[in-house]
Structure 1
Amino acid sequence: MKSISVNDLAALAPEVPIIDVREAEEYNEANVPGTRNLPLSRLSHSLGDIPIGRAVYVMCASGGRSVRATAHLVEQGYDAVNVLGGITEWYRNGHPVSYGPVLYRRGSD
């Protein structure tokens, strides 16, 4: 499984698609700007929302769910990359985080 550190991902963002697989309540509490929330519990039903033909970066709170989601996406033929340490590591390394509910995010592919 391909993985990337939060610092290496920060150097690529916001030009790359980042999927956050935490549940909506967690995502609304704090999220990485520009990410798209596709909870792991509904990921199989959301495959049509994932860009095809380019790498997608998968994160969660600390890395457990993103490993499962990345493995599932790779099995489905996606070029998925696990984000090591998730949003927790992202925050610890000083990268931007948005707080509060996200009511509607347009064009965040």
Structure 2
Amino acid sequence: MSDQVPTVSVSDVPADAPMLDVRELDEWTAGHAPAARHLPMSELAGRTGEIPGDDPLYVVCRSGGRSARVVAYLAQQGFPAVNVAGGMQEWSASGRDVVTDDGSAPRIA
């Protein structure tokens, strides 16, 4: 696996971009990007049929580490994936929209 994965800053991600959020359920429940789809990294290998075929597919986690590993894996599988640097922490800190499924206030830690 290469040490380099395609990466973009939060400011370079279009507002309605197709995103794959690879955080665990409790993190997703606390808040996520409005256009994101949830597929935890821990379940990825068994659910590859659910990976969106969008080009590019922006992958996000909490801070960018897990998503970088997922992007490296997806690239090996032929998916045009891009890591979102800084993850949801940077997404939220930069003022991008964060939503919850139950309407409660988002809590990105």
Q: Same fold (TM over 0.5)?
A: yes
Provide the TM-score with structure 1 as the length reference.
Answer: 0.84
The root-mean-square deviation of aligned C-alpha atoms, in Å, is 1.5
Which residue of 1 is the match for residue 8 of structure 2?
Answer: 4
Superposed displacement of residue 100, structure 1:
5.4
Secondary structure of the structure 2 residue equivalent to 1:98: coil
Distance 2:54 2:90 in 1: 27
Q: Kindly report which structure 2 residues correspond to 1:54-65, keeping only aligned pairs within 5 A, or say none.
A: 54-65=55-66
Q: In 2 relative to 1, CA 62–75 (structure 1 residues): closer, same or farther, beyond 3 Å? A: same
Superposed displacement of residue 92, structure 1:
0.7
Distance 1:67 1:25 in 2: 20
Distance 1:42 1:66 in 2: 13
Say how many residue pairs are matched.
Answer: 99
Q: In 2 relative to 1, CA 101–82 (structure 1 residues): closer, same or farther, beyond 3 Å? A: same
Distance 2:102 2:32 in 1: 9
Distance 2:95 2:65 in 1: 21
Q: In 2 relative to 1, CA 92–50 (structure 1 residues): closer, same or farther, beyond 3 Å? A: same
Higher mean alpha-carbon deviation, 49-58 vs 59-68, is at 49-58
CA offsets 1:37-83 (integer angstroms, 9 cap, x no match): 10000011121112226211100000110011111100111000000
Q: Percent sequence identity over matched residues? A: 42
Distance 1:44 1:53 in 2: 18
Q: Which runs of 5+ in 2 are unaligned?
A: 104-109
Distance 1:69 1:101 in 2: 27
